[in-house]
Amino acid sequence: MSPTDAMMPVWHEKHLRAATRAAGVALWSWNVDTDAITMDEAAYDLWEVPKSERKITFEILSRNIHPADLERVRSAFAATRAVVGAYEIDFRVLSNGDVRWISARGQGDDADITDRIMFGIFLDVTQRKQAEEANELLAGEMGHRVKNLLTIATALTQITSRSAETKEDMVHELTSRLMALERAQDLIRPVPGRKTGATLLGDLISVLLAPYDEKGASVRIRVSVPKINVGETSSTALALVIHELATNSAKYGALSISSGTLDVSCNAHEDDVAVVWTERGGPSVVPPTKLEGFGSKMVHRSMASQLGGTIAFDWSEEGVVVALRMSKHRLAN
């Protein structure tokens, strides 16, 4: 025995259990002949299976597996003995209406099998999966915004060229529009550490639409809304929605040509606020074949999850009409 071995502590079962609890590890074993699964208390808690249920099988555990993952997990479970070396599979389970992620890990190919029993662990990897999904969402959102900003810069240049009489006028007007766009971007993605506080709904919409207003046009953009406060949290979500609508209008709708007009009106009730976005005088409206792009998903998600509302599109020939309905309580927060 080496000096190093002599200095190593002796690990008892209670020490191992303390270590697994600290690491959030749940233990399982599987009898490959009887299909019986044995789990420790941590695994029962993780799967939310009553501890009185002592005859555990895959079918019992499968009751909690997300339906979209069930067949994939079933196939992986059946194939574990054919896997050479260690294996790992991540899948979703349903927990009181919420979704959690579990990672099952073990050793395949009957390696280290004892008395026809295989051993492995379960880990709750929900936080890691949520972080991965958040990063993917952020990457998609940033890519979408960069593409939109490039398109908007082109549209603003075209808008400015229609009204500017000299190149100096065009430089001044385009710079003003781009600075207005920068202020609008601050509302969509506030600067960290700088509190914006509550703002008025009319002011918020006007700031976001200012870059698209044309000098000398009769009445191109009209905003008519009652005095309604918008809280700091909801202002970012609503600004994102308005910005997306304005971007699409500058690309394909009424704001893409000088004759187009935009009216934004609002009605407030006891429990909700309804904003109507009406475009007229633009190019012929062609309803999209699908509304599954990233921008569309982002708008619907913001309206539902952050503003407690809905968004609906009417693709009439005269111009698109968008109805935004939001919770008055959510909007004030």
The pLDDT value given to residue 192: 53
Tell me the two tokens of residue 92: 């979703």
Q: Where in the chain is the domain with CATH 3.30.565.10?
A: 131-332
The pLDDT value given to residue 125: 87
Residue 12 CA, chain-centre distance (Å), reads 46
Residue ranges, the chain, pLDDT below 50: 1-2, 191, 194
Distances (CA, A) of 117 to 47, 60, 73: 21, 19, 20
Instruction: With beta carbons less than 8 A apart as the criterion, state whether 118 and 139 touch.
Output: no
Domain spanning 11-124: CATH superfamily: PAS domain (3.30.450.20)
Which residue type is seen at 298?
A: M
Instruction: With beta carbons less than 8 A apart as the criterion, state whether 141 and 294 touch.
Output: yes
The pLDDT value given to residue 279: 94
Angular region, 117: left φ>0, alpha ψ -120 to 50, beta rest: beta
What are φ and ψ of residue 72, in 5° steps?
Answer: -65, -40
**pTM recorded for the entire structure:** 0.52
Question: How many whole angstroms separate alpha carbon 75 and alpha carbon 96?
Answer: 25
Q: Where in the chain is the domain with CATH 3.30.450.20?
A: 11-124
Nearest of 285, 291, 265, 269 to residue 277 by alpha carbon: 265
Q: Give residue-wise pLDDT tens across range 212-232.
A: 877 655 568 999 999 888 887
Instruction: With beta carbons less than 8 A apart as the criterion, state whether 66 and 99 touch.
Output: yes
Neighbouring-strand partners of residue 51: none
The pLDDT value given to residue 257: 86
The pLDDT value given to residue 320: 94
Q: Give residue-wise pLDDT tens across range 247-303.
A: 888 888 998 888 899 999 999 888 899 999 999 999 988 887 765 565 677 788 888
**CATH T-level fold of 131-332:** Heat Shock Protein 90 (3.30.565)
